[in-house]
Amino acid sequence: MDSAHVQDDLVKVLFTEEQIHEKVRELAQRIEQDYEGKNLLIVGILKGAVMVMADLARAFNRHVEMDWMAVTSYGSGTKSSGVVRILKDLDTDVSGKHVLVVDEIIDTGLTLSWLTSNLCSRGPASVEIATLLRKPDAQQMPVEVKYVGWDIPDEFVVGYGLDYNESYRNLRDIGTLAPHVYS
């Protein structure tokens, strides 16, 4: 979906499809250099990271294993409950593997902090995080993120996997959602 189709729902477009693809290619190059000669398992966090994960995997010029997790700390509300639940666990044993968690956005850091701790308890060689977007002003829990596409303000953003009420995920750009949509 093009942003022109939802222009009344957006305050502004932060990043275009072209900018996003260029940033993902840059991240892939850095990751490839850092993991040269090492087997890499990339773990996408469902559902939001689907676009980032797919494009990142396609940008690599090497083999990588891929797996998925689904975790939630929200239940049916709009605020975090603080209790993280695994909805879909990995199918892959991470023992001795280099694991790169791929997410589309990091805001509070609560879920990813819990998740990295959980993965580290499984005996991997390493666990690192890659994200396309990070909201430093929203962070409540310190989370070390090795690969960051962009730092953004603490605004409600949609597109490229980011949603509001399961809509806008297939928007090719990333934009700030207008308050009239979610108020």
Identify whether the C-beta of residue 153 lies closer than 8 Å to the C-beta of residue 175: no
Is residue 175 assigned to a domain?
no
Number of domains in the chain: 1
Q: Which of 107, 137, 154, 173 is catalytic?
A: 107
Is residue 183 assigned to a domain?
no
pTM for the whole thing?
A: 0.93
Reading the block at residue 102, the tokens are: 């791929």
pLDDT for 78 beyond 50: no
Is residue 171 assigned to a domain?
no
Share of the chain above pLDDT 90, in %: 86
Is residue 165 assigned to a domain?
no
Is residue 180 assigned to a domain?
no
Q: Is 107 annotated in the active site?
A: yes
Give the CATH number, domain containing residue 54.
3.40.50.2020
Is residue 3 assigned to a domain?
no
| pLDDT value at residue 142 | 87
pLDDT for 65 beyond 80: yes
| pLDDT value at residue 72 | 81
* pLDDT tens, position by position, 22-42: 999 999 999 999 999 999 999
| pLDDT value at residue 5 | 93
DSSP letters spanning the chain = --GGGGGGGEEEEEE-HHHHHHHHHHHHHHHHHHTTTS-EEEEEEETTTHHHHHHHHHH-SS--EEEEEEEES-TTSSS--S--EEEE--SS--TT-EEEEEEEEESS-HHHHHHHHHHHTT--SEEEEEEEEE-GGG--S----SEEEEE--S--EEBTTB-BTTBSTT-SSEEEEPHHHH-
Residue length, the chain? 183
Is residue 2 assigned to a domain?
no
User: Residue 75: which domain range?
Assistant: 17-154
| pLDDT value at residue 73 | 72
* pLDDT tens, position by position, 85-141: 899 999 999 999 999 999 999 998 988 999 999 999 999 999 999 999 999 999 998
Q: In the beta sheet, which residues pair with residue 42?
A: 66, 100
Is residue 131 assigned to a domain?
yes
Measure CA 6 to chain center.
Answer: 23
